[in-house]
Chains A and B, each alone.
Chain A
Amino acid sequence: MKNKYSIFSLIKNAFSYHENWQRAWRDPEPKKEYEAIIIGGGGHGLATAYYLAKKHNMKNIAVLEKGWIGGGNTGRNTTIIRSNYLWDASAGLYDHALKIWEGLSQELNYNVMFSQRGVMNLAHNLQDVRDLKRRTHANRLNGIDAVWLNTNEVKKFCPIINTSPNIRYPVLGGTLQRRAGTARHDAVAWGYARGADSMGVDIIQNCEVKGIKRNGDSVEGIETTKGFIKTKKIGVVAAGHSSVIAKMVDLKLPLESKPLQALVSEPVKPIIDTVVMSNAVHAYVSQSDKGELVIGAGTDAYVSYTQRGSHDVVEGTLKAILELYPIFSRMKMLRQWGGIVDICPDASPIISKTHIKGLYFNCGWGTGGFKATPGSGDLFAHTIANNEPHKLNADFNINRFVSGDLVDEHGAAAVAH
């Protein structure tokens, strides 16, 4: 076990000018064979490895990452965590994750800076009001905290919102989930990496998967840029590149990979102490601990792997932000970036085994995967270890696209249901 982080280790290392902290995880070369291999070293992949080692006693496992850990969508999202989904299956999945978030810093001995500052979803027309009220009721039936706020209560909760009835899309109310909030995205990847590594998991960075070797209908190993690695179980958590991996075994997935953009402003003093999302105008905003406004834009409508995205999407989002928050009109945006999100037709994820023995896919999180990181890892680890889904992810199997039993949840980015 690694040295535990604590106030004492902090004081001790302060005396040596913080030059003697041990590294948080090793940098091993791949072994010849593993019990299981996870493809993709993002939050979901690292969490999967962590729970495989911790709850299912599989210690001889590796995580392969093409770039560096947490360098994909884990480091590119707007860090929003909530569980106020409409359908029972989604509510179960996302609230499972939220419950793990609530104790995650303690469990990992790593401060993931989880902050339950609340997430407010605004309604801008009568249909929004009906949909959001319905969602509030559905949430409460599923044991998820949710309240409806009228326009005055919205204004009271977040005073900088323009609640004038004369704007193009006036605020008619909103829902609030107080247990929701944000976390530090990089810390989640680093915390899980450190936890998994300390239990013996090999995290292998700069190692790209080139092919998957099969024997009949079961997997035998992975061809990588660091040579061939033998394994009987492969968990693919490759987000936007899931279809690229699937193609290696001639598997087609119901996914389209698209750029999703986000941007941050110059840092300013605290002005917004919650997360506000708006379905109809598609704009959401929160403020980071550094003081930057963190703004999420929409996806482009076309398939692209460029991690860029179109300018008109950003422009549309900022127009909406400015109408809702006129106070931000003089602020400058500092950085803009894109991440490639893999979107399912029903905007719900796939956490499933496949028809190939030993091959498992965790993908299709689309625009809203970060919030699910701990739950996704936990349930995917269960699925891989037992070769059967947990009851919480049974509905998220890949066969739902054949049976028609979809989890139609176009709520991933708080896009209207």
Chain B
Amino acid sequence: MFLINCPYCGERDQSEFSAGGEAHIIRPKQPTELSDDQWAEFLFMRKNIKGVQLERWNHAHGCRKWFNMVRDTSNDKIHAVYKMGEKPPIK
């Protein structure tokens, strides 16, 4: 359990947010040209990092806006929060 600094609303309890999984997975631009392996990679394969990971979150019980987060999954420390479309501040 932790506090999340929503870029729109400020610091709120984590229970107000929904986790959206790994960030920056780009939806294929040419879906008809994708092989089964590429589809599996896009749909199912995840980095699942133990350490610093980039992920998407949604302030579901607040402003309902999506944003990105840099979080260390080994200790749940949040290093940075940044808006959708912005470049990750570290890494």
Residues of A within 8 A of B (CB): 241, 243-244, 252-257, 300-306, 308-312, 342, 345, 401-404
Contacts and interface: CB of A to CB of B under 8 A. Distances in A.
Nearest to B1: A310
B76 A257 contact: no
A311 B76 CA distance: 14
Nearest to A309: B1
Nearest to B21: A256
A305 B73 contact: yes
Given A252-B47, A254-B45, A302-B19, A402 B74 contact: no
B32 interface: no
A402 B36 contact: yes
B48 A402 contact: no
A301 B55 CA distance: 12
Interface in B6-21: 14-15, 18-19, 21
B36 A403 contact: yes
A401 B62 CA distance: 35
Contacts of B49: 243, 303
A404 B44 CA distance: 10
B14 A310 contact: yes
Interface string B21-45: 1100000000000001101110111
Contacts of A342: 48
A127 to B, nearest CB: 23
A301 B19 contact: yes
B50 A402 contact: no
Contacts of B74: 305-306
B1 A312 contact: yes
Given A301-B18, A303-B55, A310-B14, A252 B41 contact: yes
Given A312-B15, A402-B36, A402-B37, A303 B45 contact: no
Given A252-B41, A402-B36, A403-B36, A304 B73 contact: yes
A303 B1 contact: no
Q: Which 5 A-B pairs have the closest CB atoms?
A: A302-B19, A254-B44, A243-B48, A312-B15, A310-B1
A366 B15 CA distance: 22
22 contacts: A244-B50, A252-B45, A252-B46, A252-B47, A253-B45, A255-B46, A256-B21, A256-B46, A256-B48, A257-B73, A300-B19, A303-B53, A305-B73, A306-B73, A306-B76, A310-B14, A312-B15, A401-B45, A402-B36, A402-B39, A403-B36, A404-B36
Nearest to B45: A252
Interface residues of B, number: 26
Given A312-B15, A402-B36, A305 B50 contact: yes
Given A306-B76, A401-B40, A402-B40, A243 B47 contact: yes
A49 to B, nearest CB: 25
A308 B47 CA distance: 21
A306 B75 contact: yes
A255 B74 CA distance: 16
B17 to A, nearest CB: 9
B57 to A, nearest CB: 8
B46 A254 contact: yes
Contacts of A241: 50
Given A243-B46, A252-B41, A303-B53, 4 more contacts: A253-B46, A254-B45, A306-B75, A345-B44
Contact of A303 (B15, B18, B43, B48): B48
B44 A302 contact: no
A300 to B, nearest CB: 8
Given A302-B55, A310-B1, A402-B36, A255 B15 contact: no
Central interface residue in A254, A300, A402, by most chain B CB within 10 Å: A402
A257 to B, nearest CB: 6
A342 B1 CA distance: 19
Residue among B15, B39, B44, B76 facing the most chain A CB atoms (10 A cut-off): B44
Contacts of B45: 252-254, 401
Interface string B42-73: 01111111100101000000000000000001
Contacts of A308: 1, 76
B74 to A, nearest CB: 5
Contacts of A306: 73-76
Given A243-B50, A402-B40, A304 B55 contact: no
B73 A303 contact: yes
Given A243-B50, A401-B44, A311 B1 contact: yes
Contacts of A257: 48, 50, 73
A244 B48 CA distance: 8
A141 B34 CA distance: 39
